[in-house]
Amino acid sequence: MSNFTADIRIEGLRKSFGGQDVLRDVNLEVPAGSIFGFLGLNGAGKTTLIRILLGLLQPDAGRCAVAGIDPQVQPIEVRRRIGYMAENQTMYSWMRVKELIEWVARFYPAWDATSAEDLRKQMRLDPDQKVGALSKGQTSRLALLLALAHRPKLVILDDPTLALDPIARRDLLRDVIGHLQNQGITVFFSSHLLYEIEPICDRVAILHDGRILRCAPVDELREKVKRLVFQSSDRIDVAKLAGLLDIQSYDSQLAVTVEDVAATRRALGPILPVREVDLNLDEIFEAYVIGRREAPHA
């Protein structure tokens, strides 16, 4: 495939539950040191893929390497090497913050108590507070601390902002930039909100219906995916448009969203659109996920 060093490499991964395909032939590479946005609607298969990466689930076919290790062969080693944070992580609510930190530390041979203490101070967590009494924002900071204190070079965040209010969400994204990107840690950040991960990510992959629909640098998505508006009288042959994501027809106009605007314009030759519309990332995501690819009836 490509020649950068990848911290996660996934090839031909498949998984089904009770005859229902959840992942169908997923291929993905996460470059070392990048912040990688893993985007999909709830139920798209994100968590299933992450559970396979952590060695908690066996795939039906395909293989993957996480930080150079095959999670199917060495699941415990993978979980020791990487950091993991989920949205609804169970934490022992009756413990105090410092007790939970000490308890989790025992599972990690590489735990760094000094670094854990530094993080605790930076994240403004009171060591004597009961975990059950923390706010959601504080709980997410504690979960991030627990995922980082063994100094992993790869961290997987599974929809970490799902239950957070906008301020706690922003704080968490700030921590991802300030603590993780600063230290060159690779971040695999899953989310169902494109506008949320766009600002902090280098690359985004869109998972839908068990497949990766597109994997690209964020700016490239914005530069290439556009909506073109034509007069219906131009009689565009939509069946021939490559990389077509969505078609909508209005009174006398036809709006098509395409994957690569330059390629489409070349293919159309002399036919010029009335307008070329820039899209924000939520609109791009929507075009991929719920776009209509068939010509409307006249």
Partner 1 sequence: MFIRLESSSAVPIYRQIVDQIGYQIANGTLQAGDRLPSVRELARRLPVNQNTVLKAYILLEGDGLISRRQGDGTFVADAPPATKKTERLKQVAGILGQAAAQAVHFEISRPELHQLLDEEIEKLTNGGRSP
Nearer residue to partner 1 within complex by CB, 105 or 216: 216
Amino acid found at 202: D
Amino acid found at 216: A
Q: How far is the CB of 281 from partner 1 (least distance, A)?
A: 9
Q: How far is the CB of 180 from partner 1 (least distance, A)?
A: 11
Provide CB contacts within 8 A for 228, sequence distance 6+.
Answer: 255, 256, 257, 258, 261, 264, 265, 273, 275, 276, 277
Nearer residue to partner 1 within complex by CB, 64 or 187: 187
Please tell me the distance from the alpha carbon of residue 296 to that of residue 238, in angstroms, as a whole number: 10
Nearer residue to partner 1 within complex by CB, 70 or 283: 283
Q: How far is the CB of 86 from partner 1 (least distance, A)?
A: 21
Please tell me the distance from the alpha carbon of residue 281 to that of residue 225, in angstroms, as a whole number: 9
Nearer residue to partner 1 within complex by CB, 61 or 262: 262
Provide CB contacts within 8 A for 111, sequence distance 6+.
Answer: 104, 105, 149, 150
Q: How far is the CB of 200 from partner 1 (least distance, A)?
A: 5
Q: How far is the CB of 251 from partner 1 (least distance, A)?
A: 15
Q: How far is the CB of 138 from partner 1 (least distance, A)?
A: 18
Amino acid found at 137: G
Q: Following DSSP, what letter does each residue of 162-188 receive, concatenated?
A: TT--HHHHHHHHHHIIIIIGGGT-EEE
- Give the footprint of partner 1 on this chain (CB under 8 A): 35, 170, 173-174, 176-178, 181-182, 195-196, 198-202, 218-219, 222-223, 275, 277-280, 282-283
Q: Is 252 left (phi over 0), alpha (psi -120 to 50) or beta?
A: alpha
Nearer residue to partner 1 within complex by CB, 56 or 277: 277
Nearer residue to partner 1 within complex by CB, 33 or 243: 33
Strand segments, DSSP code E, in the chain are: 6-17, 20-31, 35-39, 61-66, 83-86, 154-158, 186-191, 203-208, 211-217, 226-231, 244-249, 253-258, 275-277
Nearer residue to partner 1 within complex by CB, 199 or 296: 199
Q: How far is the CB of 30 from partner 1 (least distance, A)?
A: 15
Q: Which of 179, 176, 180 is nearest to 160 (CA)?
A: 176
Q: Would you state the structure tokens that stand for residue 155, as one six-digit string?
A: 């961290």
